[in-house]
């Protein structure tokens, strides 16, 4: 009987965890300093992680940002982002992990690997590739999900007061916003597209992800992402640890 009871307990524990998916969470907290680094927002990876999560539909906050009432009143309503680095010879490898308030892994993505020699470029490229698998997961918040399942049992009911005003979500603000009015023409290749101008000259390479409107981008100098927002195309990258956003005119 003890063996049967133990097996049933293990079954229900596995079932409960399997139901605890990323779609059950609206918020993700991003640390100012990931454990693998020695400085706050080193190489701009905290800010970049927050931006990537927001582009996928999450409401993301740095841990030192003003938080909405949902998180203040229930910390278990938010996931926490972590980056895991795997040591590789002549390569940089990062994986994204999302944990609940009890430290359980809700999501772990595939490795993003870069062979860039310069540390900043290598970490940023590895992070962009690490987000490809999360993009493929096609996150969509489900308000009927089991956020309550991650919340620890409370021994006493604490009355909640309604705040007069909830803090507004803080979006990543680009340091520079520019517009490229020159039309760029997309030429398809095996892995995505190359963008050429009217010269014609190749100005950028786009690598496909699982989402048709999201690309890993490289213009030969900066590496970042190209995505579509409100009917317009944008190229975002980091320069001197500042987020730069450039509007593009692309003809596919």
215 in Cβ contact with 225 (< 8 Å): yes
Q: Which helix (H) or strand (E) holds 81?
A: strand 78-88
pLDDT at position 8: 42
Beta-bridge partners for 17: none
> Is 52 or 150 the better-scoring residue by pLDDT?
52
pLDDT of 201 higher than 70: yes
Distance (Å, whole) CA 26 – CA 140: 9
The 10 Å CB-count burial string (b at 16+, else e) for 53-62 is: bbbbebbbbb
pTM: 0.54
- pLDDT of res. 92: 92
Q: Pick 4 or 136 by higher pLDDT.
A: 136
Other beta carbons within 10 angstroms of residue 118's beta carbon come to 9
Closest CA to 119 of 192, 214, 43, 221: 43
Percent with pLDDT over 70 in the chain? 77
φ, ψ of residue 151 to 5 degrees: the values are: -85, 125
| Helix or strand run (H / E) with residue 62 | strand 59-62
In this structure, what token pair is assigned to residue 46? 């905290």
Provide the token pair at 109: 């993505």
What's the average model confidence in pLDDT over 205-209? 90
Per-residue pLDDT band at 162 (split at 50, 70, 90):
low
DSSP string spanning 184-250?
EEEEE-SSEEEEE-SS--EEEEEEE-SSTTEEEEE-SS-EEEEEEETTEEEEEEEETTEEEEEEEEE
Read off the pLDDT of residues 46-78 as tens digits, 9 standing for 90 and up: 999 999 999 999 999 998 888 888 898 998 999
Instruction: Give the ranges where the chain is alpha helix by DSSP (H).
Output: 2-18, 45-55, 69-73, 119-136
Per-residue pLDDT, averaged over 235-243, amounts to 86
Task: Assign domain 24-141 to its CATH architecture.
Answer: 2-Layer Sandwich (3.30)
Contact 119, 43 (CB under 8 A): yes
> Computed over its alpha carbons, how large is the radius of gyration of the chain?
21
Residue 249 CA to residue 197 CA, distance in Å, equals: 10
Q: pLDDT band for position 112 (50/70/90)?
A: very high
Q: Sign of dihedral through CA atoms 51, 52, 55, 57?
A: negative
Q: What are the residue boundaries of the structural domains of the chain, listed by start?
A: 24-141, 176-251
Q: Is 70 exceeded by the pLDDT of residue 20?
A: no
Q: Tell me the residue length of the chain.
A: 252
What pLDDT score was predicted for residue 10? Answer: 44
């Amino acid at each position: 009987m003890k063996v049967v009871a133990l097996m049933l307990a293990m079954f229900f524990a596995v079932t409960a965890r399997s139901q605890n998916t990323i779609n059950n969470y609206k918020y993700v907290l991003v640390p100012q300093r990931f454990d693998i680094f020695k400085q706050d927002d080193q190489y701009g990876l905290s800010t970049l992680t927050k931006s990537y999560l927001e582009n996928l539909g999450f409401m993301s906050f740095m841990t030192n940002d003003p938080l909405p009432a949902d998180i203040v009143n229930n910390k278990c309503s938010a996931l926490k982002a972590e980056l895991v680095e795997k040591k590789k010879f002549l390569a940089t490898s990062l994986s994204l992990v999302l944990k609940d308030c009890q430290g359980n892994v809700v999501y772990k993505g595939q490795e993003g690997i870069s062979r860039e020699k310069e540390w900043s470029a290598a970490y940023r490229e590895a992070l962009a590739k690490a987000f490809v698998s999360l993009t493929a997961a096609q996150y969509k918040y489900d308000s009927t999900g089991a956020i309550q399942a991650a919340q620890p049992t409370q021994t006493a009911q604490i009355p909640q007061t309604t705040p007069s005003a909830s803090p507004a979500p803080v979006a990543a603000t680009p340091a520079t916003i520019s517009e490229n009015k020159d039309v760029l023409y997309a030429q398809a290749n095996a892995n995505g597209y190359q963008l050429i101008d009217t010269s014609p000259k190749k100005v950028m390479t786009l690598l496909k992800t699982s989402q048709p409107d999201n690309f890993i981008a490289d213009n030969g100098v900066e590496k970042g992402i190209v995505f579509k927002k409100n009917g317009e195309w944008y190229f975002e990258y980091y320069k001197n640890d500042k987020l730069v956003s450039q509007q593009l005119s692309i003809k596919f």
